[in-house]
């Protein structure tokens, strides 16, 4: 980063401040474009399926974090609020409902058996009880879907057969 590499007096020399602003604006524009495209695509998919959009309520995420300042700096760079805003206004334009669910234990609970998942390697989590594995974000989405659809919301049903109380969306570990 330019800000860390040079002293404060050097950064405000002629031309340097302008270059810093230029690249900062460029990064911000790239982020806005990226979030807008993703938000638009999410809403398009929801329109195709006549669905309600369910997002995690991450309002108090920064309040719950007691980590190092380096971690907090990385956390402040997340643009989940911008993504939430983009999805919300795109959904509002198309008259879709957006709901917010409690994110507690969505990425650490097995959607098949309900037990606690263990970290296999990085982003992949595995269940020691039923042997299923999956990416933590996919697991969180499945759990949000189950949590929200079991609330009796009209228009959302579980795709389960009559004899199976829990659908099997994850693959069994073949090891």
The dihedral built from the CA positions of residue 16, 22, 23 and 24, taken in this order, carries a sign that is positive
Convert the pLDDT of each residue in 67-117 to its tens digit.
Answer: 666 666 565 556 778 888 999 999 999 999 998 888 888 888 888 888 898
10 — pLDDT class (breaks 50, 70, 90): low
159 — pLDDT class (breaks 50, 70, 90): very low
pTM above 0.85, yes or no: no
* Residue 152 zone, left/alpha/beta (φ > 0; ψ -120 to 50; rest): left
- Read off the tokens for 109: 């609970």
Domain assignments of the chain as residue spans, ordered by start: 1-103, 105-175
């Amino acid at each position: 980063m330019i800000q860390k590499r040079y002293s404060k007096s050097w950064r405000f020399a002629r031309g340097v401040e302008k270059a810093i602003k230029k690249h900062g604006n460029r990064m911000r524009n790239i982020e806005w474009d990226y979030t807008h495209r993703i938000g638009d695509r999410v809403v398009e998919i929801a329109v195709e399926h006549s669905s309600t959009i369910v997002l995690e309520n991450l309002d108090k995420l920064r309040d719950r974090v007691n980590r190092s300042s380096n971690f907090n700096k990385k956390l402040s760079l997340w643009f989940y609020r911008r993504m939430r805003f983009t999805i919300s206004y795109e959904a509002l334009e198309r008259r879709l409902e957006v709901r917010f669910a409690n994110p507690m234990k969505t990425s650490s609970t097995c959607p098949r058996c309900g037990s606690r998942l263990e970290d296999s390697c990085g982003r992949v989590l595995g269940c020691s009880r039923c042997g299923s594995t999956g990416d933590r974000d996919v697991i969180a989405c499945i759990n949000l879907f189950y949590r929200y659809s079991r609330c009796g919301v009209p228009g959302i049903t579980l795709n389960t057969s009559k004899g199976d109380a829990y659908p099997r969306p994850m693959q069994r570990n073949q090891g």
